[in-house]
Structure 1
Amino acid sequence: MKGSVRKRGNTWSYYFDLGKADGQRRRTEKGGFRIKKDAEEALAKALSEYNNAGQCFEPSEISVSDYLDLWFDQYCKMNLKYNTQLAYLQTIENHLKPTFGIYKLKALNSSAIQEFANNLKLSGYAKSHLVNIITTLSGALNYAIEPLHFIQSNPCDRIKYPKYTGKKKEVRYIISNDDFNRIINRFPESNPFHIPLLIGYHTGLRISECFGLTWSDIDFESKIINVNKITVKRNYGVDVRQVLKVKGKKEEKSAWYFGSTKTFTSNRTVKFGETLYKALKKARKVQLENMILYGEYYTDICIKPEKDEKGDEIFRLIEIEKSIPCALQKADMICRKENGQMISTDSFKYCARVIQHQLNIAFNYHSLRHTHATILVENGANIKGIQERLGHSDIKTTLNQYVHNTESMKNESVDIFESIATMP
Structure 2
Amino acid sequence: MNKKYRNGFTKNALSGFYGVLSGALRMAVYPYELIKENPMQYVSMPKYNDTKKDKDDLKVVSLECFNKIINRFLQGSSFYVPLQIAFNTGMRAAEVCGLTWDCVDLNNKTITIDKILLKQGKGWVFGTPKTKSSNRIILIGNTLHNILKQHKKFQTENKLKYGQYYTENNFVYKNENGEPVTTDSLKYLSRVVNYELQISFNFHSLRHTHATMLLESGANIKDIQHRLGHSKLATTMDTYSHITNKLRQDSVDILESIVSKIK
Equivalent of 1:266 in 134, 139, 159: 134
User: Is the Cα contact below 8 Å between 2:56 and 2:242 reproduced in 1?
Assistant: no
Q: Does 1:220 align with 2:106?
A: yes
User: Is the Cα contact below 8 Å between 1:174 and 1:370 reproduced in 2?
Assistant: yes
User: Is the Cα contact below 8 Å between 1:374 and 1:403 reproduced in 2?
Assistant: no
Structure 2 counterpart of 1:393: 231
Counterpart amino acid of 1:276? L
* 1:388-412 deviation per Cα after TM superposition (whole angstroms, max 9, x unaligned): 1111111111111145429985884
* 1:25-81 deviation per Cα after TM superposition (whole angstroms, max 9, x unaligned): xxxxxxxxxxxxxxxxxxxxxxxxxxxxxxxxxxxxxxxxxxxxxxxxxxxxxxxxx
Once residues 211 and 184 of structure 2 are traced to their aligned partners in structure 1, the CA distance between those partners, rounded to angstroms, is: 24
Once residues 55 and 111 of structure 2 are traced to their aligned partners in structure 1, the CA distance between those partners, rounded to angstroms, is: 33
User: Is the Cα contact below 8 Å between 2:98 and 2:115 reproduced in 1?
Assistant: yes
Report the CA distance between 1:357 and its aligned residue: 1.3
Structure 1 counterpart of 2:183: 345
SS of residue in 2 equivalent to 1:347: helix
Q: Does 1:193 align with 2:73?
A: no
Report the CA distance between 1:287 and its aligned residue: 0.6
* Number of positions where the alignment pairs a residue of Structure 1 with one of Structure 2: 213
Structure 2 counterpart of 1:376: 214
User: Is the Cα contact below 8 Å between 2:55 and 2:240 reproduced in 1?
Assistant: no
Once residues 333 and 386 of structure 1 are traced to their aligned partners in structure 2, the CA distance between those partners, rounded to angstroms, is: 26
Structure of greater Rg? 1
Report the CA distance between 1:368 and its aligned residue: 0.8
Once residues 403 and 354 of structure 1 are traced to their aligned partners in structure 2, the CA distance between those partners, rounded to angstroms, is: 30
SS of residue in 1 equivalent to 2:57: coil
Residues 392 and 364 from structure 1, CA distance in 2 versus in 1: closer, same or farther, beyond 3 angstroms? Answer: same
Report the CA distance between 1:385 and its aligned residue: 1.2
Equivalent of 1:256 in 108, 124, 127: 124
Counterpart amino acid of 1:224? T
Q: Which has the higher helix share?
A: 2
Report the CA distance between 1:416 and its aligned residue: 2.3
Q: Superposition pairs for residues 102-141 of structure 1, below 5 Å?
A: none
Consecutive unaligned residues in structure 1, runs of 5 or more: 1-124, 130-167, 236-253, 301-330
Once residues 334 and 291 of structure 1 are traced to their aligned partners in structure 2, the CA distance between those partners, rounded to angstroms, is: 13
SS of residue in 2 equivalent to 1:360: coil
Once residues 423 and 342 of structure 1 are traced to their aligned partners in structure 2, the CA distance between those partners, rounded to angstroms, is: 62
Report the CA distance between 1:175 and its aligned residue: 1.1
Structure 2 counterpart of 1:180: 66
Q: Does 1:357 align with 2:195?
A: yes
Equivalent of 1:405 in 235, 243, 258: 243
Residues 173 and 421 from structure 1, CA distance in 2 versus in 1: closer, same or farther, beyond 3 angstroms? Answer: farther
Counterpart amino acid of 2:148? L
* 1:172-224 deviation per Cα after TM superposition (whole angstroms, max 9, x unaligned): 01111111111111111111111101010100111111110011110000000
Once residues 406 and 185 of structure 1 are traced to their aligned partners in structure 2, the CA distance between those partners, rounded to angstroms, is: 32
Once residues 185 and 408 of structure 1 are traced to their aligned partners in structure 2, the CA distance between those partners, rounded to angstroms, is: 32
Counterpart amino acid of 1:233? K
SS of residue in 2 equivalent to 1:269: strand
User: Is the Cα contact below 8 Å between 1:373 and 1:403 reproduced in 2?
Assistant: no
Residues 354 and 410 from structure 1, CA distance in 2 versus in 1: closer, same or farther, beyond 3 angstroms? Answer: farther
SS of residue in 2 equivalent to 1:231: strand
User: Is the Cα contact below 8 Å between 2:237 and 2:244 reproduced in 1?
Assistant: no
* 1:126-165 deviation per Cα after TM superposition (whole angstroms, max 9, x unaligned): 8x89xxxxxxxxxxxxxxxxxxxxxxxxxxxxxxxxxxxx
User: Is the Cα contact below 8 Å between 1:192 and 1:338 reproduced in 2?
Assistant: yes
Counterpart amino acid of 1:193? F
Once residues 368 and 354 of structure 1 are traced to their aligned partners in structure 2, the CA distance between those partners, rounded to angstroms, is: 15
Q: Which has the higher strand share?
A: 1
Once residues 408 and 397 of structure 1 are traced to their aligned partners in structure 2, the CA distance between those partners, rounded to angstroms, is: 17
Q: Superposition pairs for residues 262-341 of structure 1, below 5 Å?
A: 262-300=130-168, 331-341=169-179
Once residues 279 and 174 of structure 1 are traced to their aligned partners in structure 2, the CA distance between those partners, rounded to angstroms, is: 23
Once residues 182 and 408 of structure 1 are traced to their aligned partners in structure 2, the CA distance between those partners, rounded to angstroms, is: 28
SS of residue in 2 equivalent to 1:295: helix
User: Is the Cα contact below 8 Å between 1:209 and 1:227 reproduced in 2?
Assistant: yes
When normalised by structure 1's length, the TM-score is: 0.47
List, as ranges, runs of 4+ consecutive aligned residues in structure 1 with deviation greater than 3 Å. 406-415
Equivalent of 1:419 in 243, 252, 257: 257
Report the CA distance between 1:413 and its aligned residue: 5.4
Residues 336 and 403 from structure 1, CA distance in 2 versus in 1: closer, same or farther, beyond 3 angstroms? Answer: farther
Identity of aligned residues (%): 46
Counterpart amino acid of 1:356? N
